[in-house]
Chains A and B, each alone.
Chain A
């Protein structure tokens, strides 16, 4: 299955045109995001995040697990009652009581999750394949009798026997499920295998599909995109990729990758991305890494001479989108990798005009100061360094003058 020659004619297979209007985001920050070990949102935070997601333009919000009861159920009820533009979905096991709890919350959609891999069926559920199909089918029947939109989630789909997965998908389709969620629960697929498995299901069963990917091997975004290329139309994302273990496909990364790499602009208000990411980072008590793709605070901060020279000539030399597109700021810092151009430019922004010769000498001084302090210099340190440098070169000149 993993043989290389399978992909020699890949270009033909992967050349599907994607209509941006067809692709939909189902964000699960409030469910799989909160399920992360150590993360708990307050109900007010959940409501605020739901409102922000709606404002930014997601199509569906996976709001939580009503069967947990208590605060969780209250939050879902409140979110469902907010009158949002997007659909509000709740996560269920395919059992009557879970679905009833969802109905009580007033959501319009449910996800019915059950494992489809033998390893989960044997070791976790301790049941049979037949039991899985029956349980799933009766869950769909019951949910449909309440007029809910139904997503059937094939948990651990990636380790499921393909024949059984097809049978699972067929059963879901015939029971009237609206879509099948493909869960790469352990994050073990690569984009090529994802493409083949998802395409197989779509070609043979013809059910609408959703991608739920994990980042254990750093492939969450690539696998989600592979699923879309294969014909999946929903992606289950979380803000910042918040999720169990290494997390899920990050909403902001997926949207920007679709826009700038695949040419699929879904029309999201991307300028809100940084705000949204900061809010979720704080609510989940996790610092947003400065190097986080799309929204990290350091992404438009430059130190290296090569890059700064290029960007000053034309930002497109090193950037595919602008800092303002995602609500970030541009900054140039001076450090070990600085050179003449970056030093001249930086000093200019600080209000000092210097020559190329001066910049060369100053860059040398700044480099050794950086190495000594093991970090880039603050603006005030740069100004002090410049003033010292000016003072000493004046003194030198004055000194030589006196000698004459």
Chain B
């Protein structure tokens, strides 16, 4: 089996994802603002925030251990490494095997685990609260994501994302069956949870009643906070990339040559944009759920994912 994506392309795609991550967040913020009849900040605002944070100094809690400054580095590294596993401009397996969808979810889980550990380091109640809630939601989200992956992998015979995407062929939309619709529905349910958005989490607030992910970032500052924010932008675009690889692969139109690559990049941007619009719409039209309602909400996703998988097996 020789791959169709050389290692250099994989690395370029990874860097592309990291660079474009903040843009997706900015676009969602802008759309949300317009939906709420506000002007809102420009789509480039996340870049400005990052640039400012990386120029600042660091204030660290006096109770924090030697692990604390390492946390943002490791979290960012795990998230970015996960980005290397998503096919962006061209489908097909990489020339040298790197990792599959399970590895991607594992790396994202590692980033989340380290974030939660870092939140407990400063010894404040807010960090612990955020970590506790995040680690409550995560075990309920991960099985759903895995089952959605399995429901497509059972047909393709592989969990490698590039190979999985290319195995769906050109006519993916016409070939969608009930299992695909159910799996996609499950994905739409858990997508706000995985990207830390309403109705599960609220990215805009530091109010302790509503926050999950933001609570864990409270004690980070300066470049460290910048790394954490960059990691969450990357996480978001990686998750969207996972969805598009599983459900809307570009197909063989993204052939070899510069035109094919351009087409692949364009279609990827379009897919991410569609999913971003979905996120913005959900965020603007729903209220945040109470924490103890979240398991029921995610339960809908679990049932959809399990049904999708069961339909494939039976």
Judge: A and B partners, yes or no. no
Residues of A within 8 A of B (CB): none
